[in-house]
Amino acid sequence: INGAERVVVSQLHRSPGVFFGQSVHANGTKLYSARIIPFKGSWIEFATDINNVMYAYIDRKKKLPVTTLLRAIGYENDKSILEIFDLADEIKVTKTGLKKLVGRKLAARVLKSWIEDFVDEDTGEVVTIERNEIVIDRETVLENDHIDQIIASGAETILLHKENQNIADFAIIYNTLQKDPCNSEKEAVLYIYRQLRNSEPPDDATARDVIDKLFFSDKRYDLGEVGRYRINKKLYSDSNVDTRVLTKEDIIRIIKYLIELINSKADVDDIDHLSNRRVRTVGEQLGNQFAVGLARMARTIRERMNVRDNEVFTPIDLINAKTLSSVINSFFGTNQLSQFMDQTNPLAEMTHKRRLSALGPGGLSRERAGFEVRDVHYTHYGRLCPIETPEGPNIGLISSLCVYAKINELGFIETPYRKVNDGVVNLNADGIEYLSAEEEETNIIAQANAQIDETGMFINPKVKSRHKGDFPFIEKSSVQLMDVAPNQIASIAASLIPFLEHDDANRALMGSNMMRQAVPLLNPEAPIVGTGIEKIVAQDSRIQIAAEGDGIIEYADALEIVVKYNRTEDENFVSFGSDTIKYKLPKFRKTNQSTCVNLRPIVRKGDKVKKGQLLTEGYGTDKGELALGRNLKVAFMPWKGYNFEDAIVISEKLVKEDVFTSVHIDEYSLEVRDTKRGLEELTADIPNVSEEATKNLDENGLIRIGAEVKPGDILIGKITPKGETDPTPEEKLLRAIFGDKAGDVKDASLKAPPSLFGIVIDKKLFARTLKDKKVKSAEKLIISKIDEEFDRKVEDIKVSLISKLFDTVNGKTAQGVKDYYSADVVAKGVKFTQKVLQDIDYLSVNPNRWTTDKTKNELISLLISNYVKAYKEIDGEFKRRKFNITIGDELPSGIIQLAKIYVAQKRAVKVGDKMAGRHGNKGIVAKIVREEDMPYLEDGTPVDIVLNPLGVPSRMNLGQIYETVLGWAGKELGIKFATPIFDGATLDEINTYTDKAGIPKFGKTYLYDGGTGERFDQPATVGVIYMLKLGHMVDDKMHARSIGPYSLITQQPLGGKAQFGGQRFGEMEVWALEAFGASHILQEILTVKSDDVMGRAKTYEAIVKGEPMPMPGIPESFNVLLHELRGLGLSMNLE
């Protein structure tokens, strides 16, 4: 997007569906609620209150008794509402019958209904209206004197509470009926309409329509496939509903479930359970944006059609595609989840694409997210990594997908398990199944490294296993599943930390985050102690070039690799390209983070390669393995206090031998605009600049490739016109003598910023082309030639396709060849001939089921899809060529030229750089010591790096010690180790290798002082540790200022390196000087070094002339205060 690679991060949000929750009122009453969250449409929530009444809330604001809603959706009278819950007996009204029932409670009101006619004064029409009068209220105990009233009311039946039923369970329904102001469907509909719209409805139909549209219309309401799936899972164990809107049955079942909750017969949902959270992937997010764009477009089309009622118009007049493209562009450009890709190294790039965020539109916000959302939940097992998450305000809201996790079509995260049957693990490929959090819920799962024999039977009778959040020992016959690998629980970055099981989780978190910040080194080295996943990460990193099939290397050099692939006859038959493919290697390409991609071939001419084999290395890889740092000889010991508090002491050898040297490429650009005063211009002829300063610039003012750059050098020379002013007589004279307005332009060149020492490796100049008639006619000629060449190439591959198809289908009859819109292309029963094949448009034809022969059909399908691919490649290439000729460089409006300079810097490690191991053991380089002064081993080998031993015990990251000892053994024996996480080498295994290598146990060795040659008193742990250089380099952070820009209002220096600002001398620093009574220093800092405008000019003058310092004046901030007070109406003047 706009020339930079971006990533759209997947979002983890609350799944649509129904959620049951509970909260506690201030008085201790438990309140229950059910919330239905749709994909689109109004939210509806059912909740109880402290009086045990159930209310429905529409869109979180309008509150109405549930029974009112039930009446409005078709359960009109008390009888039908009570019948839903099977709560009442219906009794026919007869005098003798009623006498037997005296003493029982009425379950519903006895109503007297009649119809009244009256004349509407406005229209003069006769209107009939139904009236209800309450004769006896519900919950009344039936007595003798009520019997006559009931008979007089004309009611045919009455409803009484059922006897011997657990009425208490349904008390809430009676309570709600008592609170319900309505008695019929019509009253309920009008009541709801008034609640929603705060106005009277025009007529009954409108009111009914509004309620229908709220939840039962598929235009306004959509639960989505996921929402319906979740509701079915929760409420319908017996049947399956497939409509995507709410149904009456849904509402009733939800109310019944709520009543079960109130009576403690069901459980509330856990909102952080991964069955209630789903992933919105890129496709879905983009799809939603597309829907928004189409809706906007539809609205404009409707408006335009209304305006042009009687005119004749074409679709082009109505449709404005800009509305759609602007929505898509703003999504990619400004959406919170569309992020600038982190390309520091291959791991950073891969992790960024596998990231899941709970933030963003429709998600949480940092401020509102509580602890529960951020916590690790037992359903994260194998789905979301519990280790890799940022430190700081986003902790727990941004997480990483586990190594084996995948996302299913409903958006839920699944993880694989092996099936276990009666204590025997299924070790075949078909024994693996992916389960979502919900499907896994009830299973008992064994660990991946549980011991099994060759048949798959568990060796021990009891197996350590996992069930929900518990870890019981369980009989092997009860185990149902088994993990597929020990690193199933962790993300890729966490899986790269050897001996992770010996590290504290907080340090492991830092370790996995810091590996993403490791800068690719000039000559990296794969770790001696790895976890075995390094090769896979390198293979999956898209920067490296891998073989597309088996073949042989025809040619390889630093710039390109040529591979000839072994194709079978069938593959040759269906392909349209050559079997020899050239791969261009990226050389010194800049990444988003200004690190450098520079690939080298690791194959030679004549080598045989297999499919998927890597052909290159570089950019954080070494011989096809991920290599973010270097293996260094380390000693854990204090060294003259220089490694106090996590500081690091390193040997000069690391600088001398370019061990931690990295290349960084910076891009500097300058725009040439058309200003009010005239055009700016790129040139090497800049006023008042010495020839020395412009000697490396070409005629366009761009510095030459290969030039060495230091701070302050001109990279791009530009002049911009000054404002026209009346010239002085002297200027007039000069112009008369030298002609031209030499003084009308000012220097607006781009100069190298501080700390930039490097070499120019590339320059680019983009210009808007201004065309005359000659150029345009020449263009037409070139384009017609390009079109001819395009037609010729397409014709060639089409002829080849037709002859190959004819060979395949010769003599066959068509089974009905259709295009993608299901229109017939070749009718059923027609024989295939050259003529028939010639007339088909292969770009829109459906390549499936042409004949009755299955293998031929597969061949045809492959042929056509390869043809389409080849056509698109040719089409793309020619479109690009035409675009370059007709349009050229696309520049924003108002910009005439754009110049870019690329400068490469070689940065060796220096004091102030941040380094780290893989276990969260980070530090700053405090001293670079001469090689001969470093502590050395008995055989005279000096160590490369000295770390502080106090950094280990309190941090509890012992993994680094294990790694150090095993690394030393590996170095001595010349072998590498893969020690997977949670299944790594044991102490005994490490001891075996240290004995083999002939090095001391646990690496405990006496070291000698490089300065004096004396032996240190105590033995120290020595070994080989893998260290990374991180992106926080001192060159980017160091900053100093003497004179620079000032803020316009306060006249104080700006802040920050980017603005070339000063250091803030804040309130507390002022106290420090006050405490020492350093009044003159303090006065100077608050005035001439800050915002005393006159004073600072005079001070500068005094320093230049060598005169004594003048008295400070009034700071500008005092004037700002005066103006502020005047703005408030207080006239303040200095006397």
User: Mind listing the domains of the chain with CATH numbers?
Assistant: 12-87+165-277 (3.90.1110.10), 90-163 (no CATH), 281-334 (no CATH), 651-661+911-1035 (2.40.270.10), 662-722+739-768+891-906 (2.40.50.150), 773-886 (no CATH), 1041-1127 (3.90.1800)
d(CA 329, CA 333) in angstroms, rounded, equals 6
Q: Report the range of poorest mean pLDDT among 92-96, 197-201, 290-294, 779-783.
A: 92-96
Per-residue pLDDT band at 464 (split at 50, 70, 90) = very high
- The DSSP result for 424-474, as a single string, is EE--SGGGEEEEEHHHHTT--EE-TT--B-TTSBBSSSEEEEEBTTB--EE
Per-residue pLDDT band at 173 (split at 50, 70, 90) = confident
- The DSSP result for 735-797, as a single string, is HHHH-S-GGGEEE--EEPPTT--EEEEEEEEEEPPP--HHHHHHHHHHHHHHHHHHHHHHHHH
Q: Which stretches within 435-592 are classed as H helix?
A: 437-440, 492-495, 505-515, 534-540, 569-574
Report the DSSP beta bridge partners of residue 942: 936
Q: To which residue do tokens 């197996």 refer? A: 463
Q: Decide if pLDDT at 59 tops 90.
A: no
**By C-alpha distance, which of 285, 319, 907, 865 is closest to 596?**
907
Predicted local confidence at residue 743, as pLDDT: 62
Q: Report the range of poorest mean pLDDT among 441-455, 475-489, 522-536, 833-847.
A: 833-847
> Are residues 1004 and 1021 in contact, defined by beta-carbon separation less than 8 angstroms?
yes
d(CA 1109, CA 957) in angstroms, rounded, equals 57
Per-residue pLDDT band at 746 (split at 50, 70, 90) = confident
Instruction: Please give the average per-residue pLDDT across 169-180, as a whole number.
Output: 81
Predicted local confidence at residue 166, as pLDDT: 61
Q: Decide if pLDDT at 740 tops 70.
A: no
Please list, in sequence order, all residues whose beta carbon lies within 8 angstroms of the beta carbon of residue 536, skipping any fewer than 6 positions away: none
Predicted local confidence at residue 1021, as pLDDT: 96
pLDDT top residue among 184 and 975: 975
Per-residue pLDDT band at 96 (split at 50, 70, 90) = low
Query: For residue 831, what is the DSSP state?
Result: B
Per-residue pLDDT band at 61 (split at 50, 70, 90) = confident
> Are residues 215 and 194 in contact, defined by beta-carbon separation less than 8 angstroms?
no
Please list, in sequence order, all residues whose beta carbon lies within 8 angstroms of the beta carbon of residue 526, skipping any fewer than 6 positions away: 534, 622, 623, 625, 626, 627, 976
Predicted local confidence at residue 204, as pLDDT: 81
Q: Is 141 exposed, middle or buried (0-12, 13-18, 19+ CB in 10 A)?
A: exposed
> Are residues 214 and 251 in contact, defined by beta-carbon separation less than 8 angstroms?
no
d(CA 150, CA 136) in angstroms, rounded, equals 8
Predicted local confidence at residue 318, as pLDDT: 85
Please list, in sequence order, all residues whose beta carbon lies within 8 angstroms of the beta carbon of residue 838, skipping any fewer than 6 positions away: 802
Per-residue pLDDT band at 741 (split at 50, 70, 90) = low
Q: Report the range of poorest mean pLDDT among 239-253, 528-542, 905-919.
A: 239-253
CA 240, distance to chain mean position in Å, is 35
% of the chain with per-residue pLDDT over 70: 97
Predicted local confidence at residue 576, as pLDDT: 77
**By C-alpha distance, which of 597, 587, 634, 625 is closest to 519?**
597
Q: Decide if pLDDT at 1090 tops 80.
A: yes
Predicted local confidence at residue 736, as pLDDT: 75
Q: Report the range of poorest mean pLDDT among 116-120, 274-278, 287-291, 1062-1066.
A: 116-120
Q: Decide if pLDDT at 490 tops 80.
A: yes
Please list, in sequence order, all residues whose beta carbon lies within 8 angstroms of the beta carbon of residue 693, skipping any fewer than 6 positions away: 713, 714
Q: Do strands 445-446 and 481-483 pair parallel, antiparallel, or not at all (unpaired)?
A: parallel
Instruction: Please give the average per-residue pLDDT across 550-577, as a whole number.
Output: 86
Calculate the average pLDDT of the chain. 88
> Are residues 1008 and 1016 in contact, defined by beta-carbon separation less than 8 angstroms?
yes
Q: Decide if pLDDT at 34 tops 60.
A: yes
Instruction: Please give the average per-residue pLDDT across 307-334, as a whole number.
Output: 87
Q: Over the range 774-793, which residues count as b (16 or more CB within 10 Å of their CB) and which as e?
A: eeeeeeeeeeeeeeeebeeb
Select the highest-mean-pLDDT range: 137-141, 597-601, 734-738, 1043-1047: 597-601
DSSP 3-state percent helix, strand, coil across the chain (nearest 5): 35, 25, 40
Task: Round to the nearest angstrom and report the end-to-end CA distance of the chain.
Answer: 61
Predicted local confidence at residue 924, as pLDDT: 96
d(CA 550, CA 564) in angstroms, rounded, equals 9
Element (H or E) spanning 923, and its range? strand 922-929
> Are residues 38 and 219 in contact, defined by beta-carbon separation less than 8 angstroms?
no
Say if pTM beats, i.e. exceeds, 0.85. yes
**By C-alpha distance, which of 639, 630, 616 is closest to 561?**
616
Per-residue pLDDT band at 167 (split at 50, 70, 90) = low
pLDDT top residue among 677 and 506: 506
Predicted local confidence at residue 60, as pLDDT: 82
3-state secondary structure of 400: strand
Q: Decide if pLDDT at 572 tops 80.
A: no
Instruction: Please give the average per-residue pLDDT across 61-74, as a whole number.
Output: 87
pLDDT top residue among 678 and 401: 401
Q: Report the range of poorest mean pLDDT among 501-505, 637-641, 678-682, 1099-1103.
A: 678-682
Please list, in sequence order, all residues whose beta carbon lies within 8 angstroms of the beta carbon of residue 440, skipping any fewer than 6 positions away: 379, 415, 417, 481
Instruction: Please give the average per-residue pLDDT across 312-337, as a whole number.
Output: 89
Predicted local confidence at residue 154, as pLDDT: 67
Tell me how far CA of residue 507 lies from CA of 487, 496, 922, 981, 1030, in angstroms: 18, 14, 10, 15, 16
